[in-house]
Amino acid sequence: MDYGRKTRVIANSYYNMGLERARLRDLSGAAECLKKSLHFNKYMTDARNLLGLIYYEVGEVGDALVQWVISMNLQPEDNRADYYLGEIQRKKGTMDNERRAVRRFNQALVYAQNGSEDLAIMQLNKVVEGKPGYVKAQLLFALLCIAREDYQKASKAVSKVLQIDCNNSKALYYKSLLKASGVTAKPEPEKRKLKNVVSHRQMEDDDVIIPPSYRENTKDQAVLNILAGLVLGAAVVLFLVMPAQTKSINENHNKEISKYSEQLSQANKKSTSLSDQLETLKTEKKATEDSLASLTNNADSILAQYQTVIGILNAYKKNDFPTVVKLYAGLDSTLITSEGVQAVIGEIRKDMSENGITVLEGLGDKSMAAGDSPTALVYYSKCFELKPASWQAKYKAAMIYKAMGEKDQANGLFSDVINNSKDVELATKAKTERGF
C-alpha cells in the first residue's frame, strides 16, 4: 500500500470514529477525531462539513463558517456545505444575533474578572436565553453559580451542556463539584406536638372561692405588698434570669462565630479553585475575541488568503507556474491559522525558493517597465524573502526605495549587496548609489 493510500485510509478511519461519536452526542471527542482526519487528508470535505456542524451545535458559529467556506472552495459542486451556508444566509439577522451573543459573553467575562458577578450573571442570562446551545456561556454561568452556591441553577446549566456534549470535560468537572458539595433539600422543621391542651372558658361568679382566712387589706399594706413584689421580681431577674440569658447569648454567639469561620475557610478553598478556572476562561476569552475579530473585522482579508492558497493549488494542477508565482507574491500567510494549510504553504514556499525566484524577478522587471514601482517592489521583496542571496533583486529594490526617499531601507539593502555579494560589478554600482 503506497503512502497516499495509507493516509487516506487513516483519514477515513478517524472520520468514521468522529461520525460515530457525534451520533452519541460526544461532540468533544468527535471534534478531536475529525481534526485528526483532516490532518491526514485536508481535502476531505465530509470531515470539514461535519466539524462545522459540531462547531455550530456548540455555538461556535464563526469556526463553523470557516470550515464550510474552505470546504466549498475545495469542492464547489455537489457539496453539502453550500446548503449550510445558504441556510444561514436565509435566516435574517443570524450573524447579528451571533455577534451580539459573543459580545455579551465577553462582557460577562470582564464583569467576572472585576468581581461584578451579579452583572456577569445578568449578561449570561441574556445569552443563554437567546442561545441556550452556547456551551461556553452555559459553562461560565454554571461556574459563577457554583461560586455563589446557587447549585440549582448551576446544575441546570451543566445538565444543558451535557445534553449537547455528553463528554464535555469542564461540564463533567463542574458536575463532580456539585456532587461533592453534598447539598440536599432542607427537611421541613418538625411540628411540635401540643401537650396538655386545656379548654378555657370565662369564669362566672359561682367559680370564685374566697378562702376563710381572707381579710381586706388596708391601702398602706397594699402599697407595701406591691413594692415588695417589685423588689423580689428585680432580684429574680438580676440573679437568676440575667446570668442564664447572658450565658445562652454567649454560647450562641460562639457557635455563630465557629460556623462563619468554617464557612469562610470553605469559601477560601473554593475561591482558589475558581480563580484557577477563571484564568483558564481568560485565555479562552482572548481566543474567542481574536477569533471573532478575525471573522467580523477582517473576514474578507482572511478568506482572501484561503482563496489565494486554493488558487495556487488549482494553478499547480493546470501546470500554470507563472500564475502560481503571481498568487504567491500576494499571499499573507500570517492570517492563516490552520496547521494543515500552513503545512501546504510551507511546501509551496520551498518550491518558490527553488524555482520561482527568476519568475518573480521577471514580474518585477515588467512592473518597473510599466511604471508600477510599488508592485515591482513586492515582487523583488518576495525574491530575497525566499532566497536572501537574490542580489539583483535587492539592488533593484534598493533603487526603488531610493526613488521613494526611503533612505534607511535603501542604504540597508545597498550595504548588504556591497558586503555580501560576490558580484563585483553589482557591488560597485551599489557603492555609487549608497549614501545619497
Gyration radius of the chain over CA positions: 40
pLDDT for residue 238 is more than 90: no
Cα 319 from Cα 416, distance rounded (Å): 35
CB 111 within 8 A of CB 119: yes
C-alpha cell at 142: 454554571
Percent of the chain residues past pLDDT 70, beyond the cut:
77
- The answer to whether the CB of 321 falls within 8 A of the CB of 358 is no
Residue type, 155: S
Q: Is the pLDDT of residue 275 over 60?
A: yes
**Which pLDDT does position 33 carry in this prediction?**
93
Most confident of 166-170, 259-263, 292-296, 324-328: 166-170
Question: Is 415 within 8 Å of 434 (Cβ atoms)?
Answer: yes
| Distance separating alpha carbons of residues 63 and 70, to the nearest angstrom | 11
More confident residue, 152 or 277: 152
- Asked if 362 and 328 touch (Cβ cutoff 8 Å), the reply is no
- What value does the mean pLDDT take over residues 231-239? 62
Instruction: State the pLDDT at residue 254.
Output: 67
pLDDT per residue over 363-406, tens digit each? 999 999 999 989 998 998 989 888 888 899 999 999 999 888 88
Q: How far apart are CA 67 and CA 416, in angstroms?
A: 44
Please report, for residues 96, 330, 361, the alpha-carbon distance to residue 395 in angstroms, rounded to integers and kept in the order given. Answer: 50, 21, 11
Whether 109 and 101 have beta carbons less than 8 Å apart is answered as: no
pLDDT, residue 191, reads 35
pTM for the model stands at 0.43
Rounded mean pLDDT, 92-100: 83
More confident residue, 410 or 2: 410
Give SS3 for 306.
helix
- Of 59-73, 94-108, 187-201, 341-355, which gets the smallest average pLDDT? 187-201
**Residue 294 grid cell:** 478575525
**Does position 9 have pLDDT exceeding 80, yes or no?**
yes
Burial 41-75 (b: 16+ CB within 10 A, else e): bbebbbbbbbbbbbbbbbbbbbbbbbbbbbbbbbb
What percent of the chain is predicted at pLDDT more than 90? 18
DSSP single-letter state for residue 148: T
Specify burial of residue 158 (Cβ count, 10 A radius: 0-12, 13-18, 19+): buried
Give 110-161 pLDDT, tens digit per residue: 988 898 888 989 988 888 888 888 998 999 999 999 888 888 888 899 999 9
Q: How far apart are CA 417 and CA 303, in angstroms?
A: 37
**Separation CA 191–CA 425 (nearest Å):** 108
**H-assigned helices in 318-390:** 321-329, 339-351, 357-369, 373-386
Q: How far apart are CA 277 and CA 285, in angstroms?
A: 12
pLDDT at 35: 93
Rounded to 5°, angle at Cα 122 from 119 and 125: 150
Nearest in space to 165 (alpha carbons), one of 26, 18, 24, 59: 26
What's the pLDDT score for residue 187?
32
pLDDT confidence tier of residue 196, bands split at 50, 70 and 90: very low
Find out whether 303 and 335 touch, Cβ atoms under 8 Å.
no
Torsions phi, psi for 286 (to 5 deg):
-60, -40
Write the single-letter amino acid at 88: I
Is 74:45 a contact under the CB 8 Å cutoff? Answer: yes
SS3 423: coil
317 pLDDT more than 90: no
pLDDT at 369 (0 to 100): 92
387, 360 Cβ separation under 8 angstroms: no
Q: How far is CA 187 from CA 145, 156, 190, in A?
A: 23, 22, 9
Q: What is the mean pLDDT of the chain?
A: 79
Task: Say how far apart CA 341 and CA 322 lie, in whole Å.
Answer: 21
Residue 70 to residue 81: CA distance in whole angstroms: 9
- Cα separation, 381 vs 358, in Å, equals 13
- Using alpha carbons, select from 64, 53, 44, 45 the residue that is nearest to residue 21: 53
